[in-house]
Amino acid sequence: MIVLGLSGAVSHDASAALYIDGKLIAAAEEERFLRDKHAKGKLPREAAKFCFEQAGISPDQVDIVAFPFAEIGLDSPARWHYAKRYWYAPDRSLTALFNGNRRYHRNHEQVMALLDELGVGSQRVKFVPVEHHLAHASSAYHLSGFKEKCAIIGIDGKGEYATTFFGYGENGKIHKIKEFYDPDSLGGLYGAITEFLGFDMLDGEFKVMGMAPYGDPNRFDFSRLIEHNGEDFRVNTELVNCVGWRRYKENGKGYYFSPKLIEWLGPKRQGDEIDDPYIDYAASIQALLEKVALELIEYYLGDIIRETGKVCFAGGVALNVKLNQRIIAMENVKELFVQPAASDAGTAIGAASYASVEASVPVEKMEHVYLGPSYTNEQCIEACEKHEKQPKWERVDNGPEVAAKLLADGNPLAWFQGRMEFGPRSLGCRSILGSPSHSGVADRINAQIKYRERWRPFCPSMLDRVAPEILQTDHPSPYMTFTFDVAEEWKARIPEVVHEDGTARAQIVTRDTNPRYYALIEELEKLTGNGVILNTSLNRRGEPMVCSPEDALNMFYGCDLEYLMMEDILIRKVEG
């Protein structure tokens, strides 16, 4: 049975994923092909074509198309909650009651047209709409590999109406316990403050999280933003998560916070520096998110966690690695699985896995996210020969050894290998690398290559045999979805990948899942004594991660990188 999952239901992060008989064959985000961050307003046309090509099938072989957005009936409390809470915007309130989620009908029409364009056949194929948060839940639970009963958390901005989901998985079935509805959204609250702090929603939340350790969470009391009692919460829409005339507007753009927030906290932050009082605001919103989320998790899922110790998490807020560290630290939590593509891109996998299971075809555990396109040496050479810069290239026989020597000498290196990662993290296939024991390499990558804020942290990839000593835990971490406290003796050895608060967002690398990357880190260990490498995504600020050799070359010549290795092809800007 072939199941195609398509995301893009909420106008961003379009992606496609393909299952054949329960095996995830391919998955990719549309942004990588369009070179347009988040592919806003797009459907995953090119991503779907890639999936068909990778699987070696024709579009008319697809049996089921799953889409992570469903109709919500009038009998659902979601529509009534939305209408009541948005009383001050009667156009939205009445629409929710009388027309429902109109976006579903628009989405359905557009997806049907896409299926006909792709050759899938909208009248032939079975179309399965999946509730947005059920898709998130499936992407976590069904791919976790957990066989026992486990707790499921879903927190994001919003789907149809739901913003927060608590449930459990057992015997392949997902059971809802509790949902919260828009505008009462922890993701929306964090996103609104992200905008106030001068960043874009969808991207800037990571920056707020990175800024928070520099601030004092106790300097400002953010409790007026949200009423909460451990069982329920209600966002203050006088300040945040507001719509229409309540929104603060600047240069023709409306924000998800009100002028009253400006009156309370002062002007919206400008620029790239981590300055007072904004670092304390970042610390305060991070602390508030952790406090409310942990209270709710304990209330709704505490008994299940005490019973099994297994937890799954998806939705955009699941990419908040500081919150994840706090969840792992909860008493009785034995293991937390976070869907690596936890944002809406991952709902393509979630919808497809949910539909597959519903059709009585269980899906395999997610073992890796190397699900995108790959390129041969010959294709890399062809891209070099066609590129306007006419790069000087050489083919090397011992790529990991050559790369390790460059890194050990203090050089950043663009590393383009194998199949592209699915999700927001570079995990050793589309990466910029550095030696974390070489002082100043992080500042150089931030300033001269990534062109991003100088205070942003970098992450370590480390060999599985050294990770327990460095991170002081045996908890799995293949996808950079958690932070861990770094052992004191290691902080001085790998300072370039230890954040202000002494933590690191680590990827633990195994030989089985990425043998070439593992070999590179081993070679670097021979030269530096540390089985750790600095790893950040192969892109510049504001751009998607690179996909093709052409993308890699364009990025390479658009920054101060001096070395690029594409498969066995080494390109230098310097003689040597």
- Of 7, 118, 1, which is closest to residue 350 (Cα–Cα)? 7
**All residues at 6 or more sequence positions from 66 whose CB lies less than 8 Å from its CB, including other chains:** 3, 4, 5, 6, 128, 129, 130, 135, 351, 352, 354, 355
The per-residue pLDDT for range 203-213, each reduced to its tens digit, is 899 999 999 99
pLDDT category of residue 576 using cuts at 50, 70 and 90: very low
Count of CB atoms situated within 10 Å of the CB of 149? 14
Q: Is 440 exposed, middle or buried (0-12, 13-18, 19+ CB in 10 A)?
A: exposed
For position 193, what pLDDT does the model report?
98
* 3-state SS record for 352-409: HHHHHHHCCCCCCCCCCCECCCCCCHHHHHHHHHHCCCCCCEEECCCHHHHHHHHHHC
Count of CB atoms situated within 10 Å of the CB of 489? 9
| Contact in structure between 528 and 466 (CB atoms under 8 Å) | no
Least confident window among 115-129, 134-148, 167-181, 261-275: 261-275
* CA 563 vs CA 159, 401, 406, 440, 455: distances in Å: 42, 14, 8, 17, 24
Architecture category of domain 186-337 in CATH:
2-Layer Sandwich (3.30)
Residues 68 and 434: their CA atoms lie apart, in Å, by 38
Identical fold between 186-337 and 377-572: no
Q: Which has the higher per-residue pLDDT, 438 or 248?
A: 248
Over range 267-290, report the average pLDDT: 92
| Contact in structure between 413 and 563 (CB atoms under 8 Å) | yes
> Residue 452 pLDDT more than 80?
no
Helix (H) or strand (E) holding 314: strand 310-314
Residues 320 and 443: their CA atoms lie apart, in Å, by 23
- Of 514, 496, 385, 357, which is closest to residue 439 (Cα–Cα)? 496
Residues 423 and 32: their CA atoms lie apart, in Å, by 11
| Contact in structure between 407 and 435 (CB atoms under 8 Å) | yes
Cis amide prior to 183 (ω within 30 degrees): yes
pLDDT category of residue 226 using cuts at 50, 70 and 90: very high
- SS3 at position 499: coil
Mean per-residue pLDDT over the chain, rounded: 96
Residues 65 and 125: their CA atoms lie apart, in Å, by 7
Positive or negative CA dihedral for 21, 26, 30, 33? negative
Span 377-572: which CATH code?
3.90.870.20
Which residues form the catalytic set? 12
Structure tokens at 481: 């979805």
Residues composing the chain: 576
pLDDT category of residue 443 using cuts at 50, 70 and 90: confident
The pTM (predicted TM-score) of the whole model is 0.97
**234 phi and psi angles, rounded to 5 deg:** -145, 115
Over range 487-512, report the average pLDDT: 96
Helices (H) then strands (E): counts for the chain = 19, 24
The per-residue pLDDT for range 4-29, each reduced to its tens digit, is 999 998 889 999 999 999 999 999 99
Residues 185 and 235: their CA atoms lie apart, in Å, by 7
- Of 501, 158, 146, which is closest to residue 321 (Cα–Cα)? 501
Domain ranges of the chain: 186-337, 377-572
For position 575, what pLDDT does the model report?
58
Give the whole-number percent of the chain exceeding pLDDT 70. 100
